[in-house]
Amino acid sequence: MKIRESFSQNANAYERVNIIQKRVLEALVSRINDAPSHILDIGCGSGGLYKMLDWPVETFVGVDFAEGMLALHPKADNVSLMQRDFNDPSLFKELSSFHFDRIVSASALQWADDLDGVLANIAALNTPVSLAIFTSNTFKTLYETAKLPPLLRSREETTALLEKHFNGEIDILEYTLAFPSVREMFRYMKQSGVGAGRNVLGYKSMKQLMQTYPLEYLEYEIVLLHEKQPR
Ligand SMILES: C[S@@+](CC[C@H](N)C(=O)[O-])C[C@H]1O[C@@H](n2cnc3c(N)ncnc32)[C@H](O)[C@@H]1O
């Protein structure tokens, strides 16, 4: 299943199970202390960021390619939602005619086809950014147990790309999420979006993985970059 379809089909479940993504948003929002009035949210999903803002916002532009997620995003006079793919450079040409005080992207850019290129397009908007990107240490033990190559970019590669394009503080966030049973853990993983679209194991290998996974929790790692000022 493609990433877009996966997010659209699991949009309602995502609302219930996005525990880690909520913590990532809290970490991002806690660093934003300049009360930006014009905000761009890249990969806005069902509105996690918008719902968390506790200052008045004049314009909020949310970009996401999954119709099902956008359908759940709060609507208001100050909210414009664009169903677009952030891999498409023409999106950024369009966005360059807007004015933003801050660009936020939480838990979405790990899905960029060419992260270097997407970050260059974001940097060209010349606006301070707050970005959170999942790394390959997310579900690390799970992939090792399944003998699958990591799905996402490493912490080192993600950090290096962020440092290439931006000039802000980098933090590494590490979380674990415990489950009462391995079965519930796998159900959660399917719905939460971090393994989006990846369903490479057949029934037998999945059953075996559930029997051999050595932990009672899932691992997550996120690189967070927060710029105080524009470059
Ligand atoms: C894990 S969710 C995070 C949503 C929200 N930012 C939050 O923190 O709750 C990732 C979002 O990125 C979107 N996304 C992934 N790849 C995308 C792309 N290439 N273009 C636009 N949106 C994308 C998905 O549709 C999904 O809504």
Atom of ligand 1 nearest to the CA of 66: 25
pLDDT at residue 193, rounded to an integer: 59
Provide the CA 40 distance to its chain's centre, in angstroms: 14
Six-digit token string for 189: 């993983």
pLDDT at residue 154, rounded to an integer: 98
Cα-based angle 113, 129, 33 (whole degrees, multiple of 5): 150
d(CA 28, CA 189): 23
What is the maximum alpha-carbon separation in the chain?
53
Domains, the chain, with CATH or none: 3-138+150-176+220-226 (3.40.50.150)
For 87, half-sphere exposure in the C-beta direction (CA atoms, 13 angstrom radius) is: 8
Minimal-distance CA residue to ligand 1 atom 9: 48
Atom of ligand 1 nearest to the CA of 112: 19
Q: Which residues of 57-75 are buried (b: 16+ CB within 10 A; e: fewer)?
A: bebbbbbbbbebbbeebee
Q: Output the pTM of the full model.
A: 0.92
pLDDT at residue 153, rounded to an integer: 97
pLDDT at residue 22, rounded to an integer: 93
Q: Which of 2, 3, 73 to mutate to test the pocket of ligand 1 (most atoms within 8 A of CB)?
A: 3
pLDDT at residue 180, rounded to an integer: 84
d(CA 192, CA 19): 8
Give the number of other Cβ atoms within 10 Å of residue 188's Cβ.
Answer: 18
d(CA 59, CA 37): 7
Counting as low any pLDDT under 50, the low residues of the chain are 196
pLDDT at residue 146, rounded to an integer: 87
